[in-house]
Amino acid sequence: MQHMNVLITGGAGFIGSHLAKYLLRNNFNITIIDTFSNYYEVKRKKEHLDQIKKIGEFHLETFDLRDEDKTLHHFKKKSYDAVIHLAALPGVQYSISNPHDYIDHDIKAVVNVLRAAGETGVPHVVFGSSSSVYGDVDGPVREEQADGRVRSPYAAAKSGAESFCHAYRSLYGFKLSILRFFTVYGPWGRPDMAIPLFIKKLMDEEEIEIFGREQSRDFTYIDDIVKGIFLSLYQQTDSEVFNLGNGHPIPLQRLIDLLVDPFPDAKIVDRPFRIGDVKHTWSNIHKAQEQLGYKPEIDINEGLRRTIAWAKKYYGR
C-alpha cells in the first residue's frame, strides 16, 4: 500500500528514528510524537531527527503522551492507518530506582494511545514490547512462554502494557501487533546500552565494567528490527505477538572478545551480577519468519563492524 499514514510515537528515539527513515524511503506519510525525555542526551534525539529530515518530510509533535487530553486531541485531528507505539522509558537498572516513572511512561502513556486509537478508529496498533517479558530463560523462547514472572519494574511495565493492548483490542476491535524486540544495537544505538557504551569507553580508553560474564544476549541489528516492524504493518490476522530477535544468542565473553579485537588495550573490570537483569535472552523467531516473512540478515560480526565504523565517524576519530 502506498502513502500509508503512520504515527510513530517515540520517533526521536533510537529505534523510532531508524524506522522513520525506512518508512519515508518507502513513501509512507509519517508523523512523530516525542517528548524528548532526558533519559539520555536530548541533543542525541535532535540529531536523530536531523537524520530523518535528510530522507524526507515528516510531521513532528512534541508533547507528552502521559497527557490524555492532548493525546486524544491529536488523534482526532488525524486519520492514521497505523500507530506504532515505541515511546517508553527504557532501561532495566534505572527502573529499579524509579519504578513509578515506568508506570507513567510505559503503561499510562500506552493506555492513552490505545484509547485514542480506539476512539478515532485507527485500524492497526503496533506495540513495541521487549524480550524482558520472558524473565530468565534457558533456551529459545516462543511467544506463548511469557508467564508474567519478570525480573524488573521495566519488564513488569512492558508485560502490563501488553495486557492493556489486548484489553483495548478487545474493546475497540483494531488489529494489534505486539512485537518483542531482543537487545537492539547498531549505528545511533542507545548510549546506555552495552554495545554502544562499551564501544565509547574503549574509544576513550576507559575501563569497561562487566556485571557477570556468564550471560548471553540475543543481540539484534537495528535494520533487521526495522524490517520486522515494517512487515508487521502487513500482517493479516487480528491480534498477534511476535518475537523480533536474531535467534543466535551471543555469550558476553564472545562479545568482549570481538570488541577487544579492534581495541587491544581494553581494560575490563569484573563486577558482581546485578539484580533485575536476566542472565540470558534467546528468541525463537519461527512465528515471525512464517507469518511475517521476517529474516534477520546481519550477524554480530557485521553488525559490530558497522556499529564501530559509525561510532568512529560520530565521535570524530
Ligand X SMILES: NC(=O)c1ccc[n+]([C@@H]2O[C@H](COP(=O)([O-])OP(=O)(O)OC[C@H]3O[C@@H](n4cnc5c(N)ncnc54)[C@H](O)[C@@H]3O)[C@@H](O)[C@H]2O)c1
Kindly list the catalytic residues: 154
Taking the least distance from each CB to ligand X, the nearer of 88 and 208 is 88
Q: Which stretch binds ligand X (CB under 6 A): 52-60, 64-72, 116-124, 260-268?
A: 64-72
Residues binding ligand X: what is the number (CB under 6 A)?
29
Among 39, 58, 75, 294, binds ligand X (CB under 6 A): 39
Among 6, 7, 8, 15, binds ligand X (CB under 6 A): 15
Residues 6+ apart with CB under 8 A from 137: 145, 278, 280, 281, 282
Q: How far is the CB of 87 from ligand X (least distance, A)?
A: 4
C-alpha cell at 224: 533487521
DSSP β-ladder status, 216-217 and 124-130 = unpaired
- Residue 125: beta bridge partners? 83, 176
Dist CA 165 CA 149 (whole Å): 19
Longest dimension (CA), the chain: 57
In the range 87-146, which residues lie near ligand X by CB under 6 A?
Answer: 87-90, 105, 109, 128, 130
In the range 175-194, which residues lie near ligand X by CB under 6 A?
Answer: 181, 183-184, 190
303 binds ligand X (CB under 6 A): no
Taking the least distance from each CB to ligand X, the nearer of 128 and 296 is 128
Among 6, 65, 84, 156, binds ligand X (CB under 6 A): 65
Among 8, 12, 107, 156, binds ligand X (CB under 6 A): 12
Q: How far is the CB of 92 from ligand X (least distance, A)?
A: 10
13 binds ligand X (CB under 6 A): yes
The residue of the chain with the least Cβ separation from ligand X equals: 13
Which helix (H) or strand (E) segment holds residue 70: the answer is helix 68-77
Segments of 184-277 assigned E as strands: 184-185, 208-211, 216-217, 220-221, 239-244, 250-251, 268-271
Dist CA 314 CA 312 (whole Å): 6
Q: Which stretch binds ligand X (CB under 6 A): 59-67, 134-142, 235-243, 293-301?
A: 59-67
Dist CA 48 CA 35 (whole Å): 14
Least Cα distance to 8 among 60, 62, 85 occurs for 85
Least Cα distance to 145 among 282, 310, 304, 6 occurs for 282
66 binds ligand X (CB under 6 A): yes
Among 45, 74, 115, 175, binds ligand X (CB under 6 A): 45
Q: Interface residues with ligand X (CB under 6 A)?
A: 10, 12-16, 33-37, 39, 45, 64-66, 86-90, 105, 109, 128, 130, 181, 183-184, 190
